[in-house]
């Protein structure tokens, strides 16, 4: 079956093995070169994994029925694991951190790691470093100055927020494909959450004064760009570039002139397009609310229904059935 227009295929690999060497080879191909030792008292070694990849986003669900220690080469991507059960510990130079069930660990980029797992089941998320550097601009930080400072979340509440995000991504990647708008949204969600959950330089940046006068014409250019490209996987940075201004200036300008944010305006436009498509849809032809919501980048149907009802005073299903 061919993919729907605008969709990105989700590539899947899975393994269940009692062979220590086979699991090591798989992890070396997936991530980075390393050498591994299993616990000497673990005769019942078992490794399971189910990995989904869409574009630059990887969601893996590894499980080790053994105590394991990995000595790895440096990672060049952001890799964050949520511990479902068991325990994990990481040493990177002088840094050390651990996580038990319900918490998370962010692997430092660019450093060799020693990773110890105690009969651990995880959800592991990996995405490019460039994504967090891009998002850091929204916090008023030069991307060149961005770095993560520690491996554990800043608080238990932050750890729960990351766990919810990892669960959401695991569910989102369950199908055979993902619409490019949903993939862009997923990358924005995972990177923004990471920057708000794990200690980093964006959290300690000094206050930056707001820009001075921002001409209304600049914001009109940004609005026109959003209106024209709403069906594409837009980022705030792309909207700012199209308007010829920086990300922070764009955000301030939207707040001053439109009393909203660029992201909220983009959501408004997509909601209007979804409303139009629902009005033109026919349930008898097989059209569904879910298909239309996904088409316009709304991954969470409950949230989409809430936005829709707030905007139009009725449920999406009522519009489709009219």
Residue 42: the pLDDT is 55
Tokens of residue 51, six digits:
């990995």
Residue 41: the pLDDT is 46
Check which CATH number belongs to the domain holding 306 and give it: 1.10.10.60
Residue 210: the pLDDT is 57
Check which CATH number belongs to the domain holding 19 and give it: 2.60.120.10
Domain boundary among 170, 197, 224: 197
Structural domain of 51: 7-197
Q: Is residue 207 part of a domain?
A: no
Tokens of residue 77, six digits:
């991507």
Residue 237: the pLDDT is 86
Residue 1: the pLDDT is 44
Give the number of C-alpha atoms closer than 13 A to the C-alpha of residue 168, restricted to the C-beta side. 19
Reported pTM: 0.75
| Number of domains composing the chain | 2
Domain boundary among 134, 163, 197: 197
Whether residue 86 is found in the same domain as residue 232: no
Q: Is residue 224 part of a domain?
A: yes
Whether residue 140 is found in the same domain as residue 255: no
Tens-level pLDDT at each residue, the chain (322 residues): 455 668 899 999 999 999 888 888 888 888 899 888 765 445 678 999 999 999 999 999 999 888 889 999 999 999 999 999 999 999 998 899 999 998 999 999 999 999 999 889 999 999 999 998 888 877 767 788 888 999 999 988 889 999 999 998 988 898 899 989 999 989 999 999 999 899 988 877 654 455 667 888 888 999 999 999 998 888 888 898 888 888 888 888 898 888 888 989 999 999 999 999 999 998 888 889 999 998 898 988 888 999 999 999 999 999 987 6
Q: Is residue 23 part of a domain?
A: yes
């Amino acid at each position: 079956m061919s993919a729907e227009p605008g969709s990105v295929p989700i590539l899947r690999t899975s393994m269940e093995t009692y062979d220590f060497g086979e699991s090591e080879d798989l992890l070396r191909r997936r991530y980075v070169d390393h050498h591994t030792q299993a616990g000497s008292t673990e005769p019942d070694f078992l490794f399971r994994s189910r990995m989904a990849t869409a574009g630059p986003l990887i969601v893996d669900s590894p499980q080790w029925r053994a105590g394991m220690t990995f000595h790895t080469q440096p990672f060049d991507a952001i890799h964050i694991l949520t511990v479902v059960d068991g325990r994990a510990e990481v040493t990177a130079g002088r840094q050390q951190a651990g996580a038990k069930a319900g918490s998370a660990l962010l692997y430092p980029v660019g450093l060799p790691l020693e990773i110890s797992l105690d009969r651990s089941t995880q959800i592991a998320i990996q995405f490019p470093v460039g994504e967090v550097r891009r998002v850091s601009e929204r916090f008023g930080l030069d991307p060149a100055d961005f770095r993560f400072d520690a491996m554990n979340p800043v608080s238990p509440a932050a750890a729960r927020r990351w766990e919810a995000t990892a669960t959401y991504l695991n569910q989102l990647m369950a199908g055979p494909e993902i619409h490019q708008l949903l993939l862009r949204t997923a990358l924005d969600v995972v990177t923004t959450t990471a920057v708000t959950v794990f200690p980093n330089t964006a959290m300690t940046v000094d206050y930056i004064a707001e820009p001075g006068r921002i001409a209304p014409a600049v914001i009109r250019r940004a609005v026109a760009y959003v209106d024209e490209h709403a069906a594409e996987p837009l980022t705030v940075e792309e909207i700012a570039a199209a308007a010829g201004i920086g990300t922070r200036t764009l955000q301030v300008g939207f707040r001053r002139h439109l009393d909203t944010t660029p992201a909220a305006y983009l959501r408004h436009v997509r909601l209007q397009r979804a409303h139009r498509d629902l009005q033109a849809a026919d349930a008898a032809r097989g059209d569904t609310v879910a298909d239309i919501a996904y088409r316009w980048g709304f991954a969470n149907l409950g949230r989409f229904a809430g936005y829709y009802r707030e905007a139009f005073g009725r449920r999406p299903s009522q519009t489709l059935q009219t």
